[in-house]
Amino acid sequence: MKRVGIIGAMALEVEELKSKMEITRKEERASMEFLEGMLNGTDVVIVQSGIGKVNAALCTQILCDMFDVTHIINTGVAGSLKNEINIGDIVVSTDALHHDVDVRVFGYPLGEVPQMGCLAFPADEKLNALAVECCKEVNKDISVYSGRIVSGDQFISDKQVKDNIISNFDGFCVEMEGASIAHAAYLNHVPFVIIRAISDKADDSAEMDYPTFEKAAAAHSAALVEHMLPMI
């Protein structure tokens, strides 16, 4: 039987989904509240992980160990890394990597975690295709892209930093949790997908754009997640 773990870093990224679910149990682990129940006819566990890679990895491991999830969806907002991807659009992960890992001194490529055997953690192809198709159905007013998501413990709001990330990793968007969720899911052999609605351009305008557009962006992402659940 499928059970889908849904992670959002911030309240606004999961509050709409929580409001629509039938909650059967609440449990606190590592200062996170895990809500079990049904959403759109699907057995789910919804949790707000908190911001950053460590919180995200802890949350994912708890979902695997304590709640036996069969799939993981990470929903939230991100900064665009491509000119054609505009505020409000959605990026669905093909893979995810850590842009702030640097062990090149020992011969690893920039971004690769030592001894993992891969640079980026591949998302589940079926979940990726399903998310893209569902986004086209429920978010007709925006565009959806499928590509790499890059993560680090930084809010990117400097054009030079953004340009460096683009040149090194060819990512579609940048944020602070996805790669750690992907990393933990990969190690636990749990299929995952990351869904990111664009809240800013990850440049000198990001500090102004993010608070203006984050709610609308999160709503697009939540609508997509709810719609795709019965088809997983």
Other beta carbons within 10 angstroms of residue 216's beta carbon come to: 14
* The pLDDT of residue 61: 98
Please indicate whether residue 204 is annotated as part of the active site. no
The phi, psi pair for 2, rounded to 5°, reads -80, 145
Please indicate whether residue 200 is annotated as part of the active site. yes
CATH number at residue 33: 3.40.50.1580
CA–CA separation, 111 vs 108, rounded Å? Answer: 8
Of all helices (H) and strands (E), which one includes residue 42?
Answer: strand 42-48
Instruction: Give me the DSSP letters along 129-146.
Output: HHHHHHHHHH-TTS-EEE
* The pLDDT of residue 205: 74
Q: What is the mean pLDDT of the chain?
A: 95
By C-alpha distance, which of 63, 71, 76, 79 is closest to 29? 63
> Which tens digit of pLDDT belongs to each residue from 177-213?
999 999 999 999 999 999 999 988 878 776 767 777 7
Average pLDDT on 149-169 reads 96
Which residue type occupies 164? Answer: N
Give CA torsion, residues 113, 117, 120, 121, to 10 deg.
-110
**Catalytic residue selected from 13, 95, 177, 214:** 13
Task: Sort 25 into a burial class: Cβ within 10 Å, 0-12 / 13-18 / 19+.
Answer: exposed
For the cut 70, the answer to whether the pLDDT of residue 1 exceeds it is yes
**Catalytic residue selected from 16, 124, 177, 200:** 200
Q: Quickly state the pLDDT bin for 91 (edges 50, 70, 90).
A: very high
Number of domains the chain contains:
1
The phi, psi pair for 7, rounded to 5°, reads -115, 130
**Inter-residue contact 189 to 70 (CB < 8 Å):** no
* The pLDDT of residue 208: 64
pTM of the model: 0.96
Residue range of the domain that includes 212: 4-231
User: Looking at residue 229, what DSSP letter applies?
Assistant: G
Q: pLDDT exceeding 70 applies to what percent of the chain?
A: 99
> Which tens digit of pLDDT belongs to each residue from 6-55?
999 999 999 999 999 999 999 999 999 999 999 999 999 999 999 999 99
